[in-house]
């Protein structure tokens, strides 16, 4: 048995094993990751850049394209202002939570900042309060900045 492997050196053996492993993994990659490889090839060749830009643009569905009810000019302006204020509030909350996610775990520092933001927008307390409370709890859970309940966040609206 000892005389069978005298014809092959360790260098030849390791080279053959390395070539066999490379071929094996190339076959596995091609068989299992074919769609990803095709997308990568399209991205490298520049064919798919336009598709990504189109995918990032918002395209409403037919259900979402509903004619708006006729409103007086004053109602329309008030409606637009409330939408933008809601967007500003959610943006501020998300930014505050994201900034806290980059720092060491310190909910005692984050909570007063969130309270201050919520108290600036007490006008939303009647209409958007549950949705905003849910947003704060979910964002904190996603980033791991604090473990909160919606009831706790709900109490922050009062001064």
Are 101 and 138 members of one domain? yes
77 in a domain, yes or no?
A: no
Are residues 50 and 99 located together in one domain of the fold? no
Instruction: Look at residue 131 and tell me whether its pLDDT is greater than 80.
Output: yes
* In-domain check, residue 101: yes
Indicate whether 94 and 132 sit together in one domain: yes
Q: What is the pLDDT of residues 5-20, one digit of tens each?
A: 678 889 999 999 999 9
CA atoms of 62 and 76, how far apart (whole Å): 23
90 and 133 belong to one structural domain? yes
pLDDT of residue 40: 85
Mean pLDDT (whole number) for 118-135: 79
Residue 28 within a domain: yes
Q: What is the mean pLDDT of the chain?
A: 75
Q: Which pLDDT score is estimated for 54? A: 54
Cα separation, 141 vs 148, whole angstroms: 8
Residue span of the structural domain in which 38 resides: 10-56
Name which residue leads in pLDDT, 3 or 144. Answer: 144
Count of domains forming the chain: 2
Residues 106 and 148 in one domain: yes
Domain annotation covers residue 76? no
Q: What is the pLDDT of residues 20-77, one digit of tens each?
A: 999 999 999 999 988 888 888 888 887 655 555 555 555 555 544 444 445 454 544 4
- Whether 127 is in a domain gets the answer yes
Of 48 and 91, the structure prediction assigns the larger pLDDT to 91
Tell me whether residue 69 is in a domain: no
Q: Does residue 110 fall inside a structural domain? A: yes
Whole-structure pTM value:
0.46
Domain for residue 131, yes or no?
A: yes
Question: Both 91 and 52 in a single domain?
Answer: no
CA-closest candidate to residue 48, choices 38, 58, 34: 38
């Amino acid at each position: 048995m000892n005389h069978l492997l005298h014809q092959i050196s360790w260098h030849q053996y390791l080279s053959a094993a390395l070539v066999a492993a490379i071929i094996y993994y190339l076959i596995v990659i091609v068989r299992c990751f074919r769609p990803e490889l095709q997308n990568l090839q399209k991205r490298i060749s520049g064919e798919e850049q336009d598709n990504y830009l189109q995918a990032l643009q918002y395209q409403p569905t037919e259900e979402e394209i509903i004619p708006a009810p006729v409103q007086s000019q004053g109602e329309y302006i008030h409606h637009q202002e409330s939408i933008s204020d809601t967007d500003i509030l959610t943006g501020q909350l998300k930014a505050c939570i994201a900034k806290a996610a980059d720092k060491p775990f310190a909910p005692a520092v984050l909570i007063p900042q969130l309270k201050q933001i919520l108290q600036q927008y007490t006008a939303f307390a009647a209409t958007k309060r549950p949705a905003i409370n849910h947003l704060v709890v979910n964002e904190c859970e996603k980033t791991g900045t604090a473990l909160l309940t919606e009831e706790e966040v709900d109490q922050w609206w009062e001064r």
